[in-house]
Amino acid sequence: MMEDDFPRKRGRRFFDGFFDDDLFGMDFRRIHEQMDKLMRDAFKDFENVDVEPGKSYVYGFTMRTGPDGKPHVEEFGNVPRPGVEPISGGREPLVDVIDGKEQVSVIAELPGVDKKDIDLNAGERTLSIKVDTEGRKYHKELKLPADVDPDSVKATYKNGILDVKLKRREKKEEPKKKVRIE
C-alpha cells in the first residue's frame, strides 16, 4: 500500500466529513464539535504556560457513555487546565472506571513505579491514587459512580497497570414514613 492510496487535503481536520451523512446523527456531531473546542482551548491555554526545558507534557481525554446514555468526557494529564489543581512535577494517570452490577473496577496506568510507592485510599464514593517518588509523580482523585464498601477493596499492580476492584454497597430500602395531610 502506498502513501498515495490515502490522499489528504491540506487544512482539513481528521474528522472533517466523517459526520456529513446522518449515519451517526446529531449527537455525534455535537460530540465532535465539543471535542474540537476542547482541543483548541487546551492548546490555547498551553501557549501561555512557561514550559520547562526537557519536561514532557501529557494531555488527553477519555469519552464514554454513562448510565444515563449521555456521553461523558474526562480529561487527564499534567497540562494546566482551569479548575484543576496542578500536580507539582507530576501528572494524572490515564484511568478507566467500569461500573459493574456487583463491583466497580478502576484501571490506572502508572508506568515506571514500584508497587510499594503507590498510595491508594478508598472511601464510600471516592478513590485516591497517588505516587510521589523522585522519578515519577502521579495523582488522581476519583468520584466513583456508586457507593462501595471501602473494606472490600482488592488491588493488584503488574506491568505498570493498577487494577482496583471495589464491591458495590448493597442498597438498603429506606423505611417509608406515613405523612399526614393537613
Contacts of 89 (CB under 8 A, 6+ apart): 137
Say how many C-beta atoms besides its own lie within 10 A of residue 61's C-beta. 14
Nearest to 129 by CA among 176, 97, 82, 170: 97
pLDDT digits (tens, 9 = 90+) for 71-90: 777 776 666 665 555 555 57
Tell me which residue of 125, 118, 124 sits closest to 155, measured CA to CA. 118
Matching residue, cell 510507592: 117
93-171, CATH topology level: Immunoglobulin-like (2.60.40)
Q: Each residue of 27-68: pLDDT tens digit? A: 677 777 887 887 777 677 666 666 666 666 666 777 777 667
Angle at 124 (CA atoms; ends 168, 138), nearest 5 degrees? 105
Torsion, CA 70, CA 75, CA 80, CA 86, rounded to 10: 110
Query: What is the pTM (predicted TM-score) of this model?
Result: 0.56
Domain ranges of the chain: 13-88, 93-171
